[in-house]
Amino acid sequence: MGSGMAGRVLSAGFPLTVYNRSAEKGEPLKAAGAFVARTPREAAARAEVVISMVVDDVASRAMWLGEGGALAGAAPGTVLVESSTLTLGWIKELAAAAAQHQCEFLDAPVTGTKPHAAAGELLFLVGGSAPTLEAVRPVLAVMSRDIVHLGPTGSGATLKLINNFMCGVQAASLAEALALLEASGLDREKSLLVLTNGAPGSPLVKVLSARATAGDFTPNFMLGAMAKDIGYALEEGERHGITLQTGISARKIFQQAIADGYADKDFSAVIESQRKR
């Protein structure tokens, strides 16, 4: 995701500095004109806008606050944009740390997958100050099809967790449905035509069904990341006194798929995991 986003920023003519924990992943961007920093701190010191896209709270904390972290390199007035899917607790902690460094902060996770990132078709879900968003809108615009300002800090992160919770539940229910129709001896192709073109046929169900039918589980969105996001959504629900029962069931199905060895595959592989059980 981050590589595609960085490529869009670079292609729009913005001067770009990149950092990745695996340095070799920055080489194509370097060849295209980006400066590859040795640490997040070095990258932030060269920037007016710092955008993070990592897998989870642990990686985000290390990127911002770890040894050589970005926050230490950011000058006062720098706009910090966290686009990862993270817990609300960490987002609020990070926003407070940004304020202590006199930096502006936006939580701006995205919907979409790797092809959307490369094509500039992400949807940004933004929490934070409206003036701060307007200041960085030209940068976000080259990566996105739309930018939705949802309210104060944490608003974007909250909706992203709800979005991914719903996606995970749909994927898990599709996996069980396909396992049931095959166990029942129904014709898979005919049955899928009914499901995908009828009421259950959401855009996501259609995409996942096609990938499972093709047996192509090249990761656009990793299965392990979806399990993590459902878990974060469950935590947020509990914080509000809401038990997301369908989320609990979906997470179990994804955890089974991880145990089956599909963590690094596309999350559509949850279907394959259920078929083989």
Count, residues in the chain: 277
Round to whole Å and give the CA distance between 262 and 258.
5
Round to whole Å and give the CA distance between 62 and 69.
7
Name, in order, each residue with C-beta under 8 angstroms of 158's C-beta and a sequence gap of 6 or more. 88, 127, 150, 236
Q: Is 228 designated active site?
A: no
| Residue 195 CA from chain centroid, whole number | 27
Q: What is the 3-state secondary structure (H, E, C) of the chain?
A: CHHHHHHHHHHCCCCCEECCCCHHHHHHHHHCCCEECCCHHHHHHCCCEEEECCCCHHHHHHHHHCCCCHHHHCCCCCEEEECCCCCHHHHHHHHHHHHHCCCEEEECCEECCHHHHHHCCEEEEEEECHHHHHHHHHHHHCCEEEEEEEECCCHHHHHHHHHHHHHHHHHHHHHHHHHHHHHCCCCHHHHHHHHHHCCCCCHHHHHHHHHHHHCCCCCCCEHHHHHHHHHHHHHHHHHCCCCCHHHHHHHHHHHHHHHCCCCCCECCHHHHHHHCC
| Amino acid in position 245 | Q
Query: Which residue among 25, 30, 92, 160 is the active-site one?
Result: 160
Which residues carry out catalysis? Answer: 160
